[in-house]
Amino acid sequence: MSTKRIYLYPKWLRLWHIINALLCLTLIFTGLSMQFSSKETILLNFFTSVRIHDITGISLAVNYLLFFIGNLATANKRHYRIPAKGFTGNIIKQLKYYLSGMFKGKKAPFPTTEEQKFNPVQQITYKTVMYFMVPVMVITGGLMFFHSVIPYRIYNINGPLFVDVVHLCGAFIITLFLLIHLYFATIGHTPTAHFKSIINGYHELDEEEK
């Protein structure tokens, strides 16, 4: 029996996604190294970590700008539009499926389609990460790169410390998001189905989606 597929991931989006993943992993690794290493560390010392982190951060900012432009210029932006009607109910319905329904073999309440590849929880999560968290990381990272522009006091708190804490909190949230994202990527009709989609651009429909 042939597998039914729908084309959801254009080449530019797949290339961006792969580059973004590599850059994020590099930033996480070098960021952790900066926090816990010293100049005597053999594997990756502090100053090397800082240099790689800075270059990768600039690359991520450029890559994000390309995503933003690509999303505005193509039909991909429709997947990030969150309908106001039934928003809360849809979120609750999808959360119930994630927390219980999928473990009992129930059908997904919002199957993937050509018009809507994200379910309500994915929509709000991806939109928050891509349109809020990533800009926060780019801005705070840029401020620390050009640290002389940071105000001495922000809300009666040491300015550089405030920016650093915001950047670290954002890094923790994005790292957590990536871990959850990787886990949910394995939840398809096969554990590798979603990973294949990023390679060939096609989403393979399972029986309930067909």
- pLDDT band at residue 129 under the 50/70/90 scheme: very high
Residue 168 lies in a domain: yes
Task: Please report, for residues 92, 116, 173, the alpha-carbon distance to residue 122 in angstroms, rounded to integers and kept in the order given.
Answer: 12, 11, 15
Per residue in 80-90, pLDDT (tens digit) is 988 888 899 99
Residue 180 lies in a domain: yes
Residue 43 lies in a domain: yes
- CATH at 183: 1.20.950.20
The per-residue pLDDT for 84 is 85
Structure tokens at 204: 């393979």
Task: Please report, for residues 23, 136, 138, 147, the alpha-carbon distance to residue 131 in angstroms, rounded to integers and kept in the order given.
Answer: 18, 9, 11, 24
Average pLDDT of the chain to the nearest whole number:
89
Residue 171 lies in a domain: yes
Q: Total structural domains in the chain?
A: 1
Residue 13 lies in a domain: yes
Supply the DSSP symbol for 7: E
Domain span including residue 91: 5-204
The per-residue pLDDT for 208 is 56
**Average confidence (pLDDT) over 125-146:** 94
Residue 209 lies in a domain: no
Residue 210 lies in a domain: no
Which H or E run includes 138?
helix 134-145
